[in-house]
């Protein structure tokens, strides 16, 4: 049973560039959430996608956008990168049975902005 | 605003010791509390707690929730070097997101 997968594993960008991160959910899951984890901090919720729509959003600027495809996979896009966007970006998938369902995490993409 | 606080921030013990990690939360509409173990990248799921006073157990790990006092503990008995990791506590508070604490970094010395 395939777990959550993410690509790429590592990425180096420069300020002002744009980046796209990808996530495939665990088999049977229909909901994808994205989190940003800065060094020494817990993951911070960016947004969640269900039925190809953004269902809930955390406190992140509009530079952060996403998409969910019919096969439930998802992308996270970040425009106009800032040094402070350097972090581990985690994707989590779950089955939409209501709030509080367990989310399972992928290995993450480590983004470094120079 | 939903808030989760973990303590201690870091802990160093010898192999074979028992440790207790703490998680407290401020709730607006509590649904569940989750514990994850993060070794390098992916947080791996340990427990989800929804009911007060019912212990969940998996091998040497166990966890319990107190919804009256708004806290949870994670116990690890007979610790091993493979238990070295960051342990994250997260709350689901009536919406879709998980709110995480900053984690407890546990180091087991052989």
Closest among B94, B108, B86 to B9, alpha carbons compared: B86
* B96 has pLDDT over 80: no
**Backbone dihedral angles phi then psi of residue B81, each to the nearest 5 degrees:** -60, -30
Residue, of B41 and B1, whose pLDDT is higher: B41
3-state secondary structure chain B: CCEEEEECCEEEEECCCCEEEEEEEECCCCCEEEEEEECCCCEEEEEEECCCCCCEEECCEEEEEECCCCEEEEEECCCCHHHCEEEEEEEECCCCCCEECCCEEEEEEC
B50·A100 Cβ contact <8 A: yes
Residue, of B104 and B30, whose pLDDT is higher: B104
Share of chain A above pLDDT 90, in %: 86
What residues of A are in contact with residue B41 (Cβ under 8 Å)? 88, 90, 107-108, 110
Closest among A36, A73, A35, A34 to A52, alpha carbons compared: A73
Q: Residue B51: what pLDDT?
A: 85
B68/chain A closest Cα distance in angstroms: 19
**pLDDT per residue over A15-37, tens digit each?**
999 999 999 999 989 999 999 99
What residues of A are in contact with residue B31 (Cβ under 8 Å)? 99-100
Mean pLDDT of A46-55: 93
Q: Residue B25: what pLDDT?
A: 92
A35/chain B closest Cα distance in angstroms: 9
A97/chain B closest Cα distance in angstroms: 11
**pLDDT per residue over B68-81, tens digit each?**
889 999 999 999 99
Q: Token pair for residue A53?
A: 């729509």
Compute the distance between CA of residue B105 and CA of residue A110 in angstroms, rounded to an integer: 20
User: Of the candidates A44, A50, A56, which has its C-beta nearest B95's C-beta?
Assistant: A56
Cβ within 8 Å of residue B40, ≥6 positions away:
none
What residues of A are in contact with residue B97 (Cβ under 8 Å)? 33, 45, 48, 56, 58
Q: Residue B37: what pLDDT?
A: 97
- Band of residue A99 on the pLDDT scale cut at 50, 70, 90: low
Q: Please state, rounded to an integer, the average pLDDT across all residues of chain A.
A: 93
Q: Residue B1: what pLDDT?
A: 72
What residues of B are in contact with residue A41 (Cβ under 8 Å)? 102-103
Is A93 in CB contact (< 8 Å) with chain B?
A: no
* A97 has pLDDT over 70: no
**pLDDT per residue over B11-69, tens digit each?**
999 999 999 999 999 867 788 899 999 998 889 999 999 888 889 999 999 999 998 88
Compute the distance between CA of residue A3 and CA of residue A18 in angstroms, rounded to an integer: 27
3-state secondary structure chain A: CCCCEEECCEEEECCCCCEEEEEECCCCCCEEEEEEECCCCCCEEEEEEECCEEEEECCCCCCEEEEECCCCCEEEEECCCCHHHCEEEEEEEECCCCCCCCCEECCCEEEEEC
Q: Residue B94: what pLDDT?
A: 64
Compute the distance between CA of residue B78 and CA of residue B88 in angstroms, rounded to an integer: 20
Q: Residue B92: what pLDDT?
A: 85
Q: Residue A100: what pLDDT?
A: 61
User: Of the candidates A55, A99, A104, which has its C-beta nearest B31's C-beta?
Assistant: A99
């Amino acid at each position: 049973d395939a777990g959550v997968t993410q690509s790429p594993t590592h990425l180096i960008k420069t300020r002002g560039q744009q980046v796209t991160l990808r996530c495939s959910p665990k088999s049977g899951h229909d909901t994808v959430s994205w989190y940003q984890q800065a060094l020494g901090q817990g993951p911070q919720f960016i947004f969640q996608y269900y039925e190809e729509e953004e269902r809930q959003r955390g406190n992140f600027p509009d530079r952060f956008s996403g998409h969910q495809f019919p096969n439930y996979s998802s992308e996270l896009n970040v425009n106009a990168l800032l040094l402070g966007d350097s972090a581990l970006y985690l994707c989590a998938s779950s089955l939409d049975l209501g709030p509080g369902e367990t989310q399972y995490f992928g290995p993450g993409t480590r983004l470094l902005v120079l | 605003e939903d808030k989760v606080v973990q303590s201690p921030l870091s802990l160093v013990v010898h192999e074979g010791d028992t440790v207790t990690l703490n998680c407290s939360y401020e709730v607006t509409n509590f649904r569940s509390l989750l514990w994850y173990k993060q070794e390098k990248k992916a947080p791996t799921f340990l427990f989800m707690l929804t009911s007060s006073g019912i212990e969940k157990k998996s091998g040497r790990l166990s966890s319990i929730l107190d919804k009256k006092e708004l806290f949870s503990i994670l116990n690890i008995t007979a610790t091993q070097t493979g238990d070295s990791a960051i342990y994250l506590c997260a709350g689901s508070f009536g919406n879709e997101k998980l709110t995480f604490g900053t984690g407890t970094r546990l180091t087991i010395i052989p």
